[in-house]
Amino acid sequence: PLRPWNITRLNTGSPSGRPASFPYSAIYATITDPNYISLGPTNFVEAIFPPSTVDCTIKWNTYFEEPYNIVVPCTGSQSHGKWSMEVLKSTNTSEDWNPPSPTRNFGLRFRLEEAVVMNEGRVVTLVYVGEGIFSVGLNLDFVCGGSGVCSSGLKARPGGGGDRSVAITQELVETKVRCIDATC
């Protein structure tokens, strides 16, 4: 069984709205896949998908855009696969004081595509997807300064010794085996 992915950093920011300020809001996330997945031996070495960690960022104009359903690539030197992040409108509407918001009450969908060349020119591709809900009071702290700039970040888990990570359960949604040429 796979171990869940971990969101180890999640911060949001929204602007003050004052004259001469920048109008952009943002979500910054770091996600880690702790899994070591072996696809078996090749003629040279074992084909694996190693653990990976990437950073994901989305920015939008607070006054004229919404970030929902936009897929953005994630980057990092600690990944051999292709990660992406998508902001989802929250379905967590249990609190009247915390309506859906892309900086205070939102969902994130992460996608990881990993591929490796096997023997006979076969390329094996696996695609995993995982989602999480992030909300003030649930797993986010939120603060606004006197200037009007607001931000949120992961809050410490009760009994977690200061750990702020959030587990994201991923599932395998696609497996493809393709040939580089007609030899396989």
Domain ranges of the chain: 5-179
| CA dist., res. 148 & res. 24, Å (int) | 13
| CA distance linking residue 31 with residue 27, whole number of Å | 13
What is the rounded distance in angstroms from the CA atom of residue 86 to the CA atom of residue 41?
34
Q: According to the model, what pLDDT value does residue 55 have?
A: 97
Confidence of residue 97 (pLDDT cuts 50, 70, 90): low
Cα 75 from chain centre:
11
Cα angle, residue 128 at apex, residues 124 and 130 outer, rounded to 5°: 175
Q: Are 135 and 98 in contact (CB under 8 A)?
A: yes
Q: Which amino acid is at 16?
A: S
In angstroms, the CA 131 to CA 15 distance is: 26
Residue 94 — pLDDT band, cuts 50, 70, 90?
Answer: low
Split at pLDDT 50, 70, 90, the class of 88 is: very high
How many residues are present in the chain?
184
Distance (Å, rounded) from C-alpha 85 to C-alpha 72? 5
Radius of gyration for the chain, computed over Cα atoms and rounded to the nearest angstrom: 19
pLDDT tens string 41-77: 988 899 999 999 999 999 999 999 999 999 999 998 7
Instruction: Report d(CA 121, CA 119) in Å as an integer.
Output: 5
Tens of pLDDT, residue by residue over 3-35, are: 999 999 999 999 888 888 888 999 999 999 999
Q: What pLDDT score was predicted for residue 78?
A: 74
Q: Is the pTM of this model over 0.85?
A: yes
